[in-house]
Amino acid sequence: MKRIIGAITLMIGVGAIAIGVNSQKIKRKTPPNSLYCRLTPGSVYDGDTFRATCEGETEELKVRLCGIDAPEKDQALGIESRDTLRELMGIHSDLFLVVVDRDRYGRKVAEAFVPTGRGEEEIFINAEMIRAGMAWHYERYSNNCPNQMVFDQMVAEAKQKRLGIHAKSDSMPPWEYRKNN
């Protein structure tokens, strides 16, 4: 009987500790190169570039999405790619950026995340552009993207569904298009 009472007491104690742990608010850890931002209205230039106003920054930032390259606006699917990015980010959207670099044009190169409004869930914008078939995985420049390991999976999904740039076999990646034009 003493064993049963001891076991019950131990279980109640462990349960109380577990309840206490679960009810604590734990703040999300963010890397030092993280920025909380707001998308600047009308600022999505194309499928991989936009402007945002960020906490701690004195001026509006130009942002280039890390590890992807979207069709140029005058290229096939260029306008559709831009509109997809606008849709994913939403108008007046709050953003979380993980800045990894600055490009030769002075833009911050970053991974972008948009909250879904459902707890801690976020949309990983870079990956979703690839999954929608509206951007290529820009492997040459994706090594410094912290979450680039999902890009290949997104490419496979878009190819399997023949979405966007994968609908035709003759789609020209933007880096080749820029060289030719």
Asked, for residue 90, whether it belongs to a domain, the answer is yes
pLDDT band of 21, cuts 50, 70, 90: very low
How many structural domains compose the chain?
1
* 151, 127 Cβ separation under 8 angstroms: yes
* 136, 91 Cβ separation under 8 angstroms: no
pLDDT band of 23, cuts 50, 70, 90: very low
What per-residue confidence (pLDDT) applies to 42?
A: 83
Give the residue numbers annotated as catalytic, written as ranges. 64, 72, 107
Give the span between the Cα atoms of 109 and 62, in whole angstroms.
9
Q: Which domain holds residue 106?
A: 28-180
Q: How far is CA 64 from CA 18, 44, 67, 163, in A?
A: 43, 10, 9, 23
pLDDT digits (tens, 9 = 90+) for 73-120: 999 999 999 999 999 998 668 999 999 999 999 999 999 999 887 777
Residue 96's DSSP bridge partners are: 36, 113
Asked, for residue 12, whether it belongs to a domain, the answer is no
Asked, for residue 5, whether it belongs to a domain, the answer is no
Asked, for residue 62, whether it belongs to a domain, the answer is yes
Asked, for residue 9, whether it belongs to a domain, the answer is no
What per-residue confidence (pLDDT) applies to 30?
A: 57
From 23-27, 81-85, 90-94, 126-130, the region with the lowest mean pLDDT: 23-27
Give the span between the Cα atoms of 122 and 28, in whole angstroms.
13
Q: What are phi and psi of 41, to 5 degrees?
A: -55, 135
Residue 71: name the closest of 130, 112, 128 by CA: 130
Q: What is the number of alpha carbons within 13 Å of residue 91 lying toward its C-beta? A: 2
What per-residue confidence (pLDDT) applies to 15?
A: 38
What per-residue confidence (pLDDT) applies to 135?
A: 97
Angle among Cα 118, 85, 129 to the nearest 5 degrees reads 85
Asked, for residue 35, whether it belongs to a domain, the answer is yes
State mean pLDDT over 128-138: 96
Q: What is the CATH number of the domain that holds 118?
A: 2.40.50.90
Q: What are phi and psi of 126, to 5 degrees?
A: -55, -50
Asked, for residue 11, whether it belongs to a domain, the answer is no
More confident residue, 2 or 75: 75
pLDDT band of 3, cuts 50, 70, 90: very low
What per-residue confidence (pLDDT) applies to 91?
A: 66
- pLDDT value at 55 more than 50: yes
Proportion of the chain above pLDDT 70, given as a percent: 81
* 134, 47 Cβ separation under 8 angstroms: yes
